[in-house]
Chains A and B, each alone.
Chain A
Amino acid sequence: MPKDGGIGASTKRREDVRFLTGQGNYTDDINIAGQAYVHFLRSDMAHGRINAIDTAAAAAMPGVVRIFTGADFEGIGGLPCGWQVTDRFGEPMQEPAHPVLAQGKVRHVGDPIAAVVAETPEQARDAAEAIVVDITELPAVVDMRAALAEGATKVHDDLKSNLCYDWGFVEDNREAVDAAIKGAHHVTTLELVNNRLVANPMEPRVAVGDYNRATDEHTLYTTSQNPHVIRLLMGAFVLGIPEHKLRVVAPDVGGGFGSKIFHYAEEAFCTFAAKACNRPVKWTASRSEAFITDAHGRDHVTKIELALDEEGNFLALRTETLANMGAYLSTFAPSVPTWLHGTLMAGNYKTPLIYVNVKAVFTNTVPVDAYRGAGRPEATYQLERVIDKAARELGMDPIALRRKNFVTEFPYATPVAVEYDTGDYVATMDKLEEIADIAGFADRWEKSQDDGKLRGLGVNCYIEACGIAPSNLVGQLGARAGLYDAATVRVNATGSISVMVGAHSHGQGHETSFPQVVAEMIGIDPSQVEIVHGDSSKIPFGMGTYGSRSIAVCGSAMVRATEKIINKAKKIAAHLMEASEADIELKDGQFTVAGTDKSVAWGDVTLAAYVPHNYPLEEIEPGLEETAFYDPANFTYPAGAYACEVEVDPETGKVTICSFAAADDFGNIINPMIVDGQVHGGIGQGIGQALLENAVYDENGQLLSGSYMDYAMPRADDVPFYVVDHSCQTPCTHNPLGVKGCGEAGAIGSPPAVVNAVIDALQRAGKDVSHIDMPLTPARVWAAMNG
């Protein structure tokens, strides 16, 4: 049993108290004396040439402080892209400029044309309506295939075409894969769409810029998952503010799911305008605004082919994807369909030959970037769907076919450039069969049959690469940033501890789980440890939270820093007890000398460090504070097996999720309660993608599902209780905690299970349906059944 509050304990979350009593401090809760409000005038057309902007009447409206247009940002850097992909011919991707406010053209509905700063939000909005924009509408490029067609209208006039890059991976495998597919006993082909999603954290984005003329210091309060990344990108590339004059604070943040990783125009604007107007400037997105400005996710159109031999062994896999980039390159957009997708195409299987081609395409739509899972759900979905289809074509049991092809020996080097350190896919599948009661399905099917419902069972596996990642590797792959993380452990004189971390918590519960680790290492009560995060002026330079990396990367940095603390504390303890340092042991917050009954308490040692009267000053410095930067040696590879049972109403096509089970291997676990919660949330989002959510554009580039009236968010009665298990644990071999990360698994693993289940239900009912694109709305399912 884990110690109270130590590693492995389901400690209740300390942050809950403030959230449950309305005392959270979210960015929109921050109001600075004298602040003005900005309202952005946004393009209502998808593509247009700006001829003139007349702000005279608007500027005369009550309360208007100043109106900004693209002209105010000439000579100021655009929003940078943080990842450069090299195409399969060795050329860099096409990289367009991304101005803070539109210059010359608007390229998607929501593109900001002008910004009105006024005394109140209402005055800013009223004045924005009085701005006259002379704009010539241009044909909108929406469909990716049309965007790539000869003679298509270009989203960016100065680029060669709408093709951002044509990426091949591994390019040297291309011909061998073609040959293997050509000569195979059986090839299963599937064309599918990975639907465009909107991340929709419940807190809309907010930015508050502040400027102190006397000290020339800028502060930006923003809804970000990674304040240091924003400080670096905005300071260095957009506004030219040196780091020591720029503080970025991300206080309590109401969910992110990837959409709050990126550096957005509104952040740069508020920072810039605060200086230009010499007063604080605040922007709060409405939900409607969020829909047309937050980076969207997914939006892939894919053809996948799986070659198998007579026995069902996977021989080769080829996949071609069109990936929508939207109108501009969001911060990490180019990496999502490439390195976060192609490298995962081996899945849990020992397919020897794999080739992945991705064409990234500019369109007149909102930029697309990482959304929970980012590339890995797209990889998992196509792979697990094509395997299911292959099993049905070959008359094999889908679980048996998967088991037959599992990777069983580790480490395993895939043909797509990554090496899995540990895993046990047989164990997670065994566990899944148990917790999902797969053996009992036939009886449940009968029962549904009696009720006039079509029941289906869908199973799939997933693997993900988390803990992003070794800096030298991602640098080779095109990342323009390092991806380590950092922690400073500050032990106070009386023994309590503040840990300043680069990771950011916006729902993950770091304030509770991170202290569990430090408390366990030292043997003190976790209440003695507090976590500080989110303020670039307080925390070391860390890269923030995304890609399920917090505990694997930042947690490792925290362990390293704590180890340094313990080493120094042992030296002090040795001095206090007049013993040899080698004989000092630390247990339960007591330092003892091996083989004696001498001991000093943690608090005595920490006090000695700060009141160094009896202290080896010639050997060590006073004080007890250490920092560690941790750069992982590899990704981590969480994996698992998921099962979903559905009932389809044959009259209406409505799909009901009857049960959902997940068996995950996350390696070692710090707080099982929090891990369960992460998986629940991911499954909820995955069910949303599979059944409900879809960001739909019409041919003119208008977002049809731009509010909660049209974009179907999963609600409480769309989902069941989930059965989750993470007792299969193969610890990561290359980080000190043996942890793998759990934040994205649910969203990666669940969509194929749902779709596989619906197809299973229809096929069991004798329907000749092999695929339906997500979301599986009643209309789509009904049409497929009756098609």
Chain B
Amino acid sequence: MPKVSMTVNGKAVSAEAEGRTLLSSYLREGLGLTGTHVGCDTSQCGACVVHVDGKAVKSCTMFAAEAEGAEVTTIEGMAAPDGTLNAIQQAFQDHHGLQCGFCTPGMVMSAAALLEENPTPTEAEVRHYLEGNICRCTGYHNIVKAILAASGQDVSGIAAE
């Protein structure tokens, strides 16, 4: 099997991949980075979102070979090296933005991409941006709230937490 090489979370990596190997499988099975989740087979749920060269990408929708040479960031690369959560991760914990945690890696990666593009989004912009990320647990309330909080906006007026 051919090898595919890229940089993942700042480290040069290389693993075997068939032509049909998806980036999500490459990360999960090839590299053991199981934080990237697979929740569907129609590119709808967003549990698999990672960043490829700075852009949020559904890793189930891209072949590993297409990411040859790319800079990839996964959920495992979001916290500081000493384990300190980044602002988005911390906001998710502070505002109870996750329950079962399965959608969470994709949510955090999407939220990071959103705030990169639009540092102070409105509620409507957050909800719209998350169109491609499904969460079955939270009813989205605390996810949206966490992302608004991570952007530095005051969320104390938003009903109960």
Contact = CB atoms under 8 A, between A and B. Distances in A.
A203 B98 contact: no
Contact of B93 (A17, A24, A254, A724): A17
A713 B136 CA distance: 8
A683 B159 CA distance: 15
B134 A509 contact: no
A508 B99 contact: yes
A772 to B, nearest CB: 23
A456 to B, nearest CB: 21
A717 B130 contact: yes
Interface string A327-363: 0000000000000000000000000000000000000
Given A24-B101, A746-B139, A16 B93 contact: yes
Contacts of A24: 34-35, 101-102
Contacts of A528: none
A28 to B, nearest CB: 8
B79 A707 contact: no
Contacts of A255: 99-100, 102, 136-137
A651 B41 CA distance: 35
Interface stretch (A174-182, A458-466, A518-526, A672-680): A672-680
Contact of B134 (A22, A257, A681, A713): A713
Nearest to A682: B139
A551 to B, nearest CB: 15
Contact of B136 (A20, A28, A29, A201): A201
A31 B141 CA distance: 34
Interface string A649-680: 00000000000000000000000011011001
Most chain A CB atoms below 10 A, which of B76, B93, B105:
B93
Interface string A110-126: 00000000000010000
| B-side interface size class | 35 or more
A716 B131 contact: yes
A681 B101 contact: no
Interface in B57-104: 74-76, 78-79, 83, 85, 89, 92-94, 96, 98-104
Interface residues of A, number: 61
A12 B139 contact: no
B126 A254 contact: no
Contacts of B93: 12-13, 16-17, 20
A412 interface: no
B142 interface: yes
A21 B75 contact: yes
Contacts of B133: 715-716
Contact of B92 (A16, A254, A676, A680): A16
B35 A13 contact: no
A146 to B, nearest CB: 31
Contacts of B33: 22
Given A708-B134, A717-B130, A721-B158, A21 B85 contact: yes
A716 B98 contact: no
Nearest to B130: A716
A202 to B, nearest CB: 4
A257 B124 CA distance: 28
Contacts of A202: 37, 39, 45, 47, 100, 102-103, 134-137
B161 interface: yes
A722 B96 contact: no
A716 B139 CA distance: 8
A470 interface: no
Nearest to B36: A22
B26 to A, nearest CB: 14
Interface in A164-205: 200-204
Interface in A676-732: 676-677, 680-685, 687, 707-709, 713-717, 719, 721-725
Interface in A280-294: 286-288
A442 B89 CA distance: 41
B138 interface: yes
B40 interface: yes
A707 B40 CA distance: 8
Interface string B116-138: 00000001101110110111111
B156 interface: no
A15 B102 contact: no
Given A20-B89, A681-B139, A723-B159, A287 B101 contact: no
B44 interface: yes
B4 interface: no
Interface in A501-557: 506-509
Interface string A1-43: 0000000001011011111111110101101000000000000
B131 A715 contact: yes
A252 interface: yes
Contacts of B23: none
B74 A22 contact: yes
A719 B124 CA distance: 11
A252 B79 CA distance: 21
A253 interface: yes
A680 B139 CA distance: 5
Given A12-B93, A713-B136, 14 more contacts: A16-B92, A18-B101, A20-B98, A21-B35, A22-B74, A23-B35, A28-B28, A31-B29, A200-B136, A507-B99, A507-B101, A680-B139, A707-B44, A719-B139
**Would you list the 8 A-B pairs with minimal beta carbon distance, nearest first?**
A22-B35, A684-B139, A19-B101, A254-B102, A507-B100, A507-B99, A708-B44, A22-B75
Interface of A: 10, 12-13, 15-24, 26, 28-29, 31, 122, 200-204, 252-255, 257, 286-288, 506-509, 673-674, 676-677, 680-685, 687, 707-709, 713-717, 719, 721-725, 746
12 contacts: A19-B101, A23-B76, A28-B28, A122-B20, A203-B39, A683-B139, A708-B44, A715-B127, A715-B133, A716-B144, A717-B124, A724-B160
